[in-house]
Amino acid sequence: MKSRLFMVILLGGFFLISVLSFPGFTQNPNISWKRSSPETQPDLQLFHSPHSIDLPTATTLQKWDVEFEISHRFIPPTSVGINGFYGLDGPVNMRIALGLALNNRSIITLGRSNFNDNIDLTLKYKIFEIRNNALPVLIAARAGGAWNSNPAYIQIIGRDKTNSRNFQAFGQVILNTMIRNKLGIGVVPSYLYNTDIRFEDKTKDTFRLGLNAQYYVGQFWSLLIEYTPYISGYRSLIEQKHNPLSFGIELETGGHFFKIFLSNSKFLNSSQFLAGADLPVENNDWRLGFMITRLLKFGKKI
């Protein structure tokens, strides 16, 4: 009787071990493997592009990404009609720039606009992020200096190109959020030092509040708008007395962003754009503009 019971236990043991060892069993008890590290968390990015139109976004690039930018702003307004091909006949203000991501949080960019031969050097740094499904937040800071290396103003003809009055500086805090992965909203308090380089006696400063929004309609295109009202400080009452307003569409594909838009400003570099726009929106006069950025990677081809 006892030996029969022993056989039952023995066979039962074999059966249990065999069943638990069967590979089709979801949890093979002989296997001790457990996931060794938690799921990778990609860097939080909200807006797809590092730029709105003239305002920056808090989006950064991956370390050693290189961004090439070319922008045009056609000076004749669209109101010139077909005779001036709605401004496309030019002339144009243009900007070319090259940015380099020093790491995943910061981008250094060197750019040049043909207006006053304005050369600017900027650094954008992502300071802070809040991961929240309902209202994620990114905060970045952007600072830069600009040298108007060949000002075209008649008032200062003959001034040495390296005169300190030809230099400007600016700083921006960039607050971005994204609602339902569709609507990006940005608030960009901005400060400009030496707003008008024509003044010989003392520098003038300007504060503006950049506001921008972008609605991502599909995977590859979106609508965007930005408005940068004057807050305090110096404001030109003649040439740049209006608040910059721009709106358009953005296409993204692979490593490209292509923006085409209308704007009341002819300025592309930050130190010029933050001084103000030159066209009143009340007259429904707009300038056509576009911006193309391409991300590049040098070195190892991947």
Partner 1 sequence: MFRSLKFLFLTIIVVFNLLLSAEYQVDHSRENVVKFISHAPMDDFEGVTDKIDGYIYWEGDNLLNKSDMYFEVDLNSIDTGIGLRNRHMRDNYLETDQYPYTHFKGKLTKAEKVSENEYKVTAEGKMYIHGVEKDITVEGNMTALDSSYHITTQFVTALSDYKIKIPQLMFFKINENMQLELDFYVKKIEKN
Strand segments (E) across 89-136: 92-101, 106-113, 118-130
Is residue 88 at the binding interface for partner 1, with CB under 8 A as the rule? no
Q: How far is CA 38 from CA 35, 41, 91, in A?
A: 7, 9, 55
Tell which residue, 110, 141, 118, has the closest CA to residue 272: 118
**What binding mask, one character per residue, do residues 231-270 give for partner 1 by CB under 8 A, x or -?**
--------------------xxxxx---------------
- Closest CB to partner 1 among 152 and 251? 251
Is residue 42 at the binding interface for partner 1, with CB under 8 A as the rule? yes
Count interface residues toward partner 1 (CB under 8 A): 41
Is residue 65 at the binding interface for partner 1, with CB under 8 A as the rule? yes
Q: Please pick, from the candidates 1, 4, 8, 36, the single residue that binds partner 1 as defined by CB under 8 A.
A: 36
Which of the residues 192 through 221 are near partner 1 (CB under 8 A)?
219-220
Is residue 139 at the binding interface for partner 1, with CB under 8 A as the rule? no
CB of 154 to partner 1, least distance (A): 44
Give the separation between CA 216 and CA 220, rounded to whole angstroms: 8
- Closest CB to partner 1 among 231 and 251? 251
Is residue 53 at the binding interface for partner 1, with CB under 8 A as the rule? no
Helix (H/G/I), strand (E/B), else coil: 217: coil
CB distance 217 to 258 below 8 Å:
no
Is residue 6 at the binding interface for partner 1, with CB under 8 A as the rule? yes
Which of the residues 98 through 137 are near partner 1 (CB under 8 A)?
101, 104
Per-residue 3-state assignment (H helix, E strand, C coil) for 45-59: CCCCCCECCCCECCC
CB of 219 to partner 1, least distance (A): 5
- Residues ≥6 apart with Cβ < 8 Å to 46: 57, 58, 59, 136, 138, 176, 177, 178, 184
Is residue 295 at the binding interface for partner 1, with CB under 8 A as the rule? yes
- Residues ≥6 apart with Cβ < 8 Å to 103: 63
Q: Exposed (0-12), middle (13-18) or buried (19+): which is 218, by Cβ within 10 Å?
A: exposed
Q: Please pick, from the candidates 1, 4, 8, 41, the single residue that binds partner 1 as defined by CB under 8 A.
A: 41
- Closest CB to partner 1 among 154 and 302? 302
- Closest CB to partner 1 among 161 and 297? 297
Give the separation between CA 225 and CA 245, rounded to whole angstroms: 8
Task: Tell me the two tokens of residue 128.
Answer: 């802070």
Is residue 27 at the binding interface for partner 1, with CB under 8 A as the rule? no
Q: List interacting residues with partner 1 (CB under 8 A).
A: 2, 6, 9-10, 13-14, 17, 21-23, 28, 30-33, 35-37, 39-43, 45, 48, 61-62, 65, 101, 104, 219-220, 251-255, 295, 297, 300, 302
